[in-house]
Amino acid sequence: MDSDGGDILPRAELRGLIGHIRSRVLVLVAIFGVGFIGGYPLSGRVIEMLLESSAYRPENVEVVILHPMEAVLLRLRIGVQLGALMAGLFIICDLSWNGRRIFTRAKRSKETGGRKIGGFVLVIISSFFLAAMGALYSHEILVPLLLEYLSEDAASANLSSTWQLQSWIGFVSSLFFASVLGFQVPVITFVLLRNGVISGEYVKQNRSSLWFIGMAFGAFLSPPDPLSMFLVAGPVLILLEMALIVDRITQ
């Protein structure tokens, strides 16, 4: 991954980033633990709300529980997702504050300029704003559209719509998690651009690779069906292009 060859992330910066994340392992584990411990009891209320609400359950759909541990496993899954999300947001904020020091040390160059509190606050505000936008997108568009599509597809084949509790709520929570985390891509891109890790020219040369990575990212985070992958990855790619436009304008 030589920086002269047009690669997106140069090798020295990548080593510095990996080394910094390793030094933060204990902090990340603690943050993940807080999210997991807090998410486990919170997930119980979420499950109750979804069972009582008809917003995420189309008509003529019956929800069943196949084994007694299903609710416990589901709560564990939601706790893990919340812990991972909190750890991811911490990494973004950490890179915004320490990114210049991390990457200049990795390149063995002299650090120029200091930490800018204004930029750090802007990253935090943008990150939480985009997280809220991702949750809103999932709530208003992504989840209702996919659940309605799956229900109608089963009805057109004369199949009874019986959904397993763990599969149904796990599907919904995965879409929320994918949307909130995926909407952080422009913040990550902007932080890397402003710290000199990548440049607009490198991004142009590797745009096709970025789009492929974006689709793979959507496939990794979303449930395993093509429509979910497209609906998750599409907004991520659009936000990535918007981040590049904003960077060019503000330069």
Contacts of 152 (CB under 8 A, 6+ apart): 58
**pTM for the full predicted model:** 0.78
CA 237 to centroid of chain Cα atoms: 13
pLDDT tens-digit readout, 32-88? 999 999 888 888 888 888 877 777 777 777 777 777 788 888 888 889 989 999 998
CA atoms of 185 and 189, how far apart (whole Å): 6
Residues 6+ apart with CB under 8 A from 31: 83, 86, 87, 90
What does the alpha-carbon distance between residue 144 and residue 168 come to, in Å, rounded to a whole number?
12
**Other beta carbons less than 10 A from residue 50's beta carbon:** 18
Amino acid at 75: R
Count of structural domains, the chain? 1
Q: What is the mean pLDDT of the chain?
A: 78
- Residue 164 domain boundaries: 3-250
The answer on pLDDT for 14 being more than 50 is yes
Residue 30: pLDDT band with limits 50, 70, 90: very high
Where helices occur in the chain by DSSP H, the ranges are: 11-23, 25-52, 70-106, 117-137, 143-156, 165-182, 185-194, 200-205, 207-221, 226-250
pLDDT at position 41 is 86
Structure tokens at 130: 């985009």
β-partners of residue 229 are none
The whole-number average pLDDT for the span 211-223 is: 68
Give the C-alpha separation, 248 to 139, whole Å. Answer: 32
Q: What are phi and psi of 244, to 5 degrees?
A: -65, -40
Give 234's contacts (C-beta < 8 A, 6+ positions apart). Answer: 218
**What's the rounded mean pLDDT across residues 147-159?**
71
Q: Which two tokens stand for residue 116?
A: 């800018």
Q: What is the mean pLDDT of residues 88-106?
A: 79
Q: Is 10 exposed, middle or buried (0-12, 13-18, 19+ CB in 10 A)?
A: buried
Whether residue 229 contacts residue 219, with contact meaning beta carbons closer than 8 Å, is answered with: yes
